[in-house]
Amino acid sequence: MKLTTLTLAVLAGLATSAAYAESESVDPLKKAFIDDSSVNVQFRLRYEDVDVANVDQQNQTTLRTRLTYQTGDIYNLFALAEVDDVRSTDNEPLIGDYKYTQINQGFIGYKGPAETLAKLGRQRILLDNQRFVGGVGFRQNEQTYDAVSVKNTAIENLTAYYAYVANVNRIFPEGSGKEEHENETSLININYKGLEFVNLSGYGYLIDNTDVAAFSTDTFGVRATGNIKLDALKVSYEAEYAQQSEGGDNPVSYSADYYKLGAGIDFDAFGAKIGYEVLGSDSGKAGFITPLATLHAFNGWTDKFLFGGKGNWDNGLVDTHVIVTGKIAGLKLLAKYHQFESDYGDIDMGTEWGVAATYPFAKHYSLGVKYASFSGADEGYDFSNDTDKLWLTFQANY
């Protein structure tokens, strides 16, 4: 398993300090590494069944065990180490979970003056709704980042975030050639929550992927979300716009736009939302891509539009969708419907509907079932095969 020198140094420091902490005479270390430390264990058992018309039907059972250890503070410093292990009945090419054991997170944190938090090492980075930068948390192997990051909240209601990413640890297995992408990437996100009816974000994501030049992009955008309460009824909205061009050594010169509009209502245990999202195209030359996004959360659960991790193709993608939510006796319900078409070329990219139910119980446990069905795309494209997917999940957290 390939690990950064930094991650190894973090783990070595943890082990050495823990050994010193056994001596009662080293009170600050004992307090940080034993008394004020925390240990969490998570088990996630999943059965997944995938049926792709004219291709194959596959199923797989996986169990992810996650162990997380975080120290207490010592002179404003702390450390976190997180190890993931996934056991599997088999590695199926149509299913995105794989056998592996690796360091998911391993970083040193510093709580500095003026409400500043800095992290150095392998870490989770989740920005806004993860449409552009996220962790792909649905998959058993999470996407994490070898990075230095700084977050500042000194100004009331304002969060300023910057990260320099040297490596992206992707969801693919070791030896696949796709498991890591070296980067020279800068991520900037500023969020302001001080207005009554709107939450504003502005961002600049300068992705320079030195392994895959086609993933290199410069993206700048703004996002607004909010809600208005009218007695028992809550009306919510979102609006976002971004512009993207080639970055780093990307061989294609292009300019493409992204925009999303959405509105919803929530009433007691019922909610409904309609949305319109466009990942634009530069006249078919190149599309607006999102190579660091949590793609499974957008454009359908069957993942028909991953496009090798870019999240779009040259012709662009338009997603008109409706989402309905509900709660009944502790059971959380969700239903989605998507209609897809190209932004350029008048291509019918199909429809998808999906339903999900999650039931948390006994504080530590949850059960979930999710099903999605995609169909109806114009023939002759990589995404045109009708596809059905089913997931059954049990999770325990301690």
Rounded Cα gap, residues 189 and 165, in angstroms: 14
Estimate to the nearest angstrom the gap between the alpha carbon of 168 and the chain centroid.
Answer: 12
User: pLDDT digit string (tens) for 96-128?
Assistant: 999 999 999 999 999 999 999 999 999 999 999
Residue 41: its pLDDT value, please? 98
Q: Is 25 exposed, middle or buried (0-12, 13-18, 19+ CB in 10 A)?
A: exposed
Q: Which amino acid is at 43?
A: F
Is residue 150 a contact partner of residue 164, using CB atoms and an 8 Å limit? Answer: no
Neighbours of 9 (CB within 10 A): 14
Rounded Cα gap, residues 391 and 302, in angstroms: 11
Contacts 24+ apart (CB under 8 A), 126-131: 126/294, 127/161, 127/187, 127/189, 127/203, 128/189, 128/191, 128/201, 128/203, 128/223, 129/297, 130/293, 130/294, 130/297, 131/240, 131/260, 131/290, 131/293, 131/294, 131/298
Rounded Cα gap, residues 102 and 290, in angstroms: 25
Rounded Cα gap, residues 45 and 393, in angstroms: 6
Q: Domains along the chain?
A: 5-397 (2.40.160.10)
Whether the pLDDT of residue 209 is over 70: the answer is yes
User: pLDDT digit string (tens) for 67-104?
Assistant: 999 999 999 999 999 999 999 998 899 999 999 999 99
Q: Which residues contact 308 (CB under 8 A, 6 or more apart)?
A: none
User: pLDDT digit string (tens) for 328-383?
Assistant: 999 999 999 999 999 999 999 999 999 999 999 999 999 999 999 999 999 999 99
User: pLDDT digit string (tens) for 135-183?
Assistant: 999 999 999 999 999 999 999 999 999 999 999 999 998 888 899 999 9
Mean pLDDT of 241-268: 97
Rounded (10°) CA dihedral 8, 11, 15, 17: 110
Q: Which amino acid is at 320?
A: T
Tokens for 9?
């140094």
Rounded Cα gap, residues 157 and 211, in angstroms: 38
pTM: 0.93
Q: Which residues contact 205 (CB under 8 A, 6 or more apart)?
A: 132, 133, 185, 186, 187, 188, 217, 218, 219, 220, 292
Estimate to the nearest angstrom the gap between the alpha carbon of 295 and the chain centroid.
Answer: 7
Name the 3-class secondary structure at 364. coil
Neighbours of 207 (CB within 10 A): 27
Is residue 83 a contact partner of residue 66, using CB atoms and an 8 Å limit? Answer: yes
